[in-house]
Amino acid sequence: MKEVAYAKINLALHVRGRRADGYHDIETIFAFAEHGDVLRVEEREHLSLSIEGPFAAALNGDGDNLVLRAANVLREHCKTREGARLTLDKRLPVASGIGGGSADAAATLRLLNRFWSLDLCEDSLAGLGRGLGADVTACIKSRTAIGRGRGDELSPAEVAVKSGTPLLLVNPGVQVSTADIFYRWRGGDGGPLPSDWREGRNDLEASAVAIAPQIADVIAALKVAGGDAARMSGSGATCFALFDSEADRDAAGARLAAARPGWWLLATRIR
């Protein structure tokens, strides 16, 4: 069996304030790409993880990996000692604002729920994911939604972006720390999400650009390439833009790849 860990996109991300628990109250609109990391599972007596793919070197397979943590949370919840050999094909950049670790944890819960025939419902899996990270709940569902609180209080997004919309993800090849970006957040409540997410913003963008100025270069390049609503996702450094057609997206991607061969690009669509 296998499961896709769909890349997460924050179409808009408003930080409303700091919380006493160390997190921040946010309002965001989550969307998901059709592509992401891929997790495979085979029968084994014990639980193990191996990592392959273009970004495997940035991770390790020890007990602190979110994939193994998610597997152990599921085993403990269901009082089972089932084993599995997990293989993570790490296709998304690490620490890049598109939910790589959270999406991997969510895919682990979905995959092992099927593989071990546990029959937990989606909401039960989302509840387990809440303790693994603020974005894991949204990544369990991997559908467009509004996130509030830490981002794990989900509600349907009445007006977002249509499934199948061409999407281009671009990362300038730098990693930024989510904790550092939130720490550097300027503070102050800039207001709630507007009814049209395109009129929103990403309140973490300024902090991220201060650490990694290349992010501003990516956003500018996506706008020049004709992308709609070019913006940073999450805490960065990956940015995105939407396009009217796959041909427009691919032409923009080809121009960026030629001009910036060191940048990572993924041509995909909104799930």
Residue 210 corresponds to which tokens in the numbers above?
């201060």
Nearest to 207 by CA among 221, 188, 225: 188
For residue 105, give the H/E element and its range. helix 100-115
**Cβ 169 vs Cβ 240: under 8 Å:** yes
Higher pLDDT among residues 158 and 255, named by residue: 255
Mean pLDDT, residues 207-223 taken together: 97
Report which DSSP code applies to 242: E
User: Mean pLDDT throughout 151-162?
Assistant: 88
Six token digits for residue 234:
């999450």
Which residues have C-beta within 8 Å of that of residue 254, sequence separation ≥ 6?
none
CATH code 3.30.230.10 region(s) in the chain = 2-156
Q: Note if 8 is an active site residue.
A: yes
8, 89, 104, 152: which one is catalytic? 8
Residue range(s) of every CATH 3.30.70.890 domain in the chain: 166-269
pLDDT value for 215: 98
Out of 7-11, 16-20, 121-125, 143-147, least confident range: 16-20
What pLDDT is stored for residue 63 in this prediction? 45
Burial (CB < 10 A; 0-12, 13-18, 19+), residue 30, is buried
Query: What does the mean pLDDT of the chain come to?
Result: 94
Where does residue 250 rank: exposed (0-12), middle (13-18), buried (19+ CB within 10 A)?
A: middle
d(CA 139, CA 165) in angstroms, rounded, equals 19
Catalytic residue status for 25: no
What confidence score (pLDDT) does residue 62 get? Answer: 52
The two structure tokens encoding residue 187: 């503070």
SS3 178: helix
Residue 115 has pLDDT above 80, yes or no: yes
pLDDT score for 59:
83
Helix axes 100-115, 122-130, angle to 10 degrees: 140
Six-digit token pair at 72? 């152990």
For residue 246, pLDDT over 50 is answered with: yes
For the residues of 20-42, what is the DSSP string, one character each?
TTS-EEEEEEEEEEEEEEEEEEE
Give per-residue pLDDT as tens, 58-87.
886 554 589 999 999 999 999 999 999 999
Distance CA 148, CA 69 (A): 25
Banded model confidence at residue 226, pLDDT cuts 50, 70, 90: very high
- Range 101-118 average pLDDT: 97
> Is residue 129 pLDDT above 90, yes or no?
yes
Give the pLDDT of residue 58: 87
Res 158 pLDDT > 80: no
The CATH number, out of the four listed (3.40.50.10860, 3.30.70.890, 3.30.43.10, 3.40.50.9100), of the domain defined by the range 166-269? 3.30.70.890
- Supply the pLDDT for residue 82: 95
Distance CA 157, CA 129 (A): 21
**Which CATH architecture group holds 2-156?**
2-Layer Sandwich (3.30)
Q: Is 244 helix (H, G, I), strand (E, B) or coil?
A: coil
Catalytic, out of 135, 141, 152, 203: 135
Residue 22 in this model has a pLDDT that exceeds 90: no
Tokens of 245: 């057609």
Distance, in Å, from the CA atom of 38 to the CA atom of 198, rounded to the nearest integer, reads 30
Per-residue pLDDT of 165-210, as tens digits, reads 999 999 999 999 999 999 999 888 989 999 899 999 999 999 999 9
- Span 99-122, mean pLDDT? 97
Segment 98-120 shows an average pLDDT of: 97
Residue 16 token pair: 């409303």
